[in-house]
Amino acid sequence: MKKILFVLVLLAGTIAANGQIVEPVKWSFSKEKVSENEYNLLFKATIDKGWHLYSTDIPEGGPIKTSFYFEGVENVEFANEITANKAAIKMFDKSFQMDLSYFEDEVVFSRKVKLTGDGSGKVAGYVEFMSCNDETCTPPMDQEYSFAFGSTPETSVAISGNEIGSSSEGRNYWSIFFIAFLGGLAALLTPCVFPMIPMTVSFFTKQSKTKASGIRNGIWYGVSIIIIYVILGTVVTAVFGAESLNNLSTNPWFNLFFALLLFVFAFSFMGAFEIILPSSWVNAVDKRADKGGLIGIFFMAFALALVSFSCTGPIVGALIVEAARSGGMAPVIGMLGFSLALAIPFALFAAFPGWLNSLPKSGGWLNSVKVVLGFLEFAFAFKFLSIADMVLNLHILEREVYIAIWIATFLGLALYLWGKIRLPHDSPMEYIPVSRFVLGTMVFAFVIYMIPGLWGAPVKLISGFPPPIDYAESPLGVGRTQVQGVAQSSIDVHPGKHVGPHGIPLFEDYDEALAHAKETNKPLLIDFTGKGCTNCRKMEDNVWIDPQVKKMFLEDFIVVSLFVDLREKLPESEQYVSETTGRKVRTVGNKWTDLQIRRFNRNTQPYYVILDHNEQEVVNGYGYDSDANKFANWLRSGLNEYKGK
């Protein structure tokens, strides 16, 4: 017996040392008594450093969310839904084209229950979850739990009150701040704001009797601008709530509203109409600004915000829309960045009016800046339409349509910059300034770059904006009926195959693929993957598309993709308890996960295995590595080993 235990411990140590079987999320379950017949069920997840656990509100089409299943409930009723003790971290994932939320370090989920019987009861079930790090993901896993009431001592767990503070979210806030700061600089160059600078200087020249007071008043003026816009961001966050903003970011109807809002802003910038506030508001603020002193300066800043609203409103609106998609304090951070860029020049020129002579004169170029911003907002509006289209699975704004719209939009911008198109409020030009010609040429080059995207090119410069390659009218590209660079006769056609990424035919059933590999005398290449595996998509987008890799996939191997997160239930007769993990195999995904663990001692994706016809590995497996040359060399070594047997 001791020898057996020793072997098991040694085996466990070997597995841990090799880092093959990983379980980065550990669960513990307990309950706490709230009142005589009410309890909180507590589900605590402890997450290894560098890993994250997906939240309970992942939209359809994304990775597997954390789900709680209650199967054995006796004399108990639920008083609320599952809640977490802290807000989830939210990041936009380019592979899935959606915001994904997750937890790091530790999170405690809870659900309140009420006993309905004689003081005893039971709740049993399991939690299904998925975790990832920067390189790999685990398959969906489940952990069973059971709570008993009236027959066991009551327990409790200390719930941590950690706030959002991860480095990932910090990076997200910095990006929002930087984008908003650029938006503030762009707002400075609009015809509603730029001419206000000399007016502001004139106001402070009269108000400031000494140089010191001028500097003090200028600083207070800049701080007032920041306060006004930060209050706006705070109000947005307070009204909607951080969690509501998170949920709205993937709501199709709210994304449609965002898109319409950006269209209105875009048309306003292009000169179709002006967005103006009631004149009574401006007059009321002007009267207070005339009183002087620090209060008067504050209302002078408020007057600037109101008077310039027709130009700053669309930029501020677009920034709040984008910040709202990130949730949390993002609207406040965004308004801080925008107002800081707007405030610094006004404060400096108010404090040092002599600098005014270095400014360029106002003119038609200010309206041109406004129109260019209008074109950009028009293009970005389609991003929100695309999210709504994909969430509703309408397939109206597919990849080719999206790219075609962007091509047309930026072509229009290039023609505008070259003076071939004139819009309302544009001044006549005798000649095109060199700056406009150069910028127009750069935009036109961008248009040419996007055109191959209609034929299946990856167009990586705009990655994250158009829908993914598989959300298209033709996954192979417009007008293409076969894989580029490979003769149609060389592609193995089989009824069990389907068209996978980049037009590569794939099996999805192991037994069927193995049988076909024996028929064709080719090695079997297993791709352990997942619908919700980000790095699996990265391998497909960056490695599978490589010509040498694609050619070997099509001509030299039988490829089967086994999705470990398929939710399709197995028939009752095919469900079983894994001898390797002790967990119940309920779904098709569970079956492929158990196969990977049992045969290859791995449980992370992506993972690639090459087998001969006796189902033996010909070379060691291959994990996540986006170097296409390395992967091609690994394929060649496996092919050579197979042929040498």
Hey, which CATH number is domain 488-644, 3.30.450.20, 2.60.120.200, 3.40.30.10, 3.30.70.270? 3.40.30.10
pLDDT tens-digit readout, 452-502: 888 877 787 887 678 766 677 765 555 554 444 444 444 555 666 777 777
CATH fold of the domain at 23-149: Immunoglobulin-like (2.60.40)
pLDDT of amino acid 154? 45
**pLDDT band at residue 616, thresholds of 50, 70 and 90?**
very high
State how far the alpha carbon of 296 is from the alpha carbons of 12, 119, 149, 363, 396, in Å.
73, 67, 66, 30, 53
78-106: pLDDT as tens digits: 888 888 888 888 777 665 667 788 898 88
Contact call for residues 157 and 44 (beta carbons, < 8 A): yes
Q: Please confirm whether the linkage preceding 195 is cis (ω < 30° from 0).
A: no
What is the structure's pLDDT at 365?
62
| 23-149 and 488-644 in the same fold | no
Sequence ranges of the domains in the chain: 23-149, 170-361, 488-644
- Separation between Cα atoms, residue 327 and residue 53, nearest integer Å: 19
Question: Quick one: tokens of 198?
Answer: 């000399």
- What is the predicted pLDDT for the residue at 426? 77
The number of beta carbons lying within 10 Å of the beta carbon of residue 253 is 11
Report the C-alpha gap between 521 and 515 in whole angstroms.
10
Most confident range (mean pLDDT) of 1-5, 117-121, 581-585 is 581-585
Strand 98-103 to 52-54 pairing: antiparallel
Residue 184: predicted pLDDT = 80
At 376, the amino acid letter reads L
Any idea how long the chain is?
645
pLDDT at 214 over 80: no
Is 60 exceeded by the pLDDT of residue 33? yes
Residues 6+ apart with CB under 8 A from 455: 477, 478, 479, 480
Q: How far apart are CA 629 and CA 645, in angstroms?
A: 25
Structure tokens at 113: 């229950």
Tell me, what's the pLDDT at 521? 92
**For residues 10 and 410, which has the higher predicted lDDT (pLDDT)?**
410
The candidate with the shortest Cα–Cα distance to 456, out of 423, 479, 440, is 479
d(CA 594, CA 580): 8
DSSP letters, 405-449, are: HHHHHHHHHHHHHTTS---TTPPP-SS--HHHHHHHHHHHHHHHH
15 or 350, higher pLDDT: 350
pLDDT of amino acid 584: 84
* CA dist., res. 52 & res. 89, Å (int): 10
Residue 246 pLDDT > 50:
no
Confidence of residue 410 (pLDDT cuts 50, 70, 90): very high
Stretch 555-575: mean pLDDT, rounded? Answer: 88
Provide the pLDDT for residue 171: 46
Q: Under DSSP, is residue 39 helix (H, G, I), strand (E, B) or coil?
A: strand
pLDDT at 172: 59
Rounded distance, CA 54 to CA 57, Å? Answer: 8
Identify the bridge partners of residue 144 per DSSP, sorted by sequence position. Answer: 126
Phi, psi of 444 (to 5 degrees): -65, -40
Q: Give the pairing type, strands 505-506 and 25-35.
A: unpaired
